[in-house]
Structure 1
Amino acid sequence: MTSSFEIITEEFFDDMEAIRSLVVTFSDQKKPVKARIAAANSATLLVAATFEEFVREMAREYARAVVTSTESFEKLPRKLAATAWKRTMDGLSKVRFDSDQAAGAENVFGAAQTRFTVIHEFCKGDLTQDIYRELIHNDNNMRTSEVNSLFKVSGLDNVCQRLSDKQSILETFGETEPGKAHGKLVSGLEDFFERRNGIAHALNPGQSSGPDQIIKDLKMLECFGKALCETLDAEAPRPLVRQAEKVEAEAAASMAT
Structure 2
Amino acid sequence: MKSLVFALSFLLLAGCASGPRIDTSHPSVNFDNRAQFIVVHYTSASLERSLALLTHGQVSSHYLIGDDKAGTIFKLVDENYRAWHAGESEWQGRTWLNSSSIGIEIVNPGFRDTPTGRVWYPYSEAQIQNLIVLLKDISKRNNISPRHIIGHSDIAPLRKLDPGPLFPWKRLADAGLGQWPNAQAVARQQAVYAQALPSATWFQQELARLGYTTPQTGEFDVATRHVLTAFQMHFRPGRFDGIADAESAAILQVLNQTK
Shorter-chain TM-score tier? under 0.3
TM-score computed with the length of structure 1 as normaliser:
0.23
More helix by share: 1
Higher relative contact order (CA 8 A, sep 6+): 1
Answer 1 or 2: which has greater strand percent.
2
Q: Which has the larger radius of gyration?
A: 2
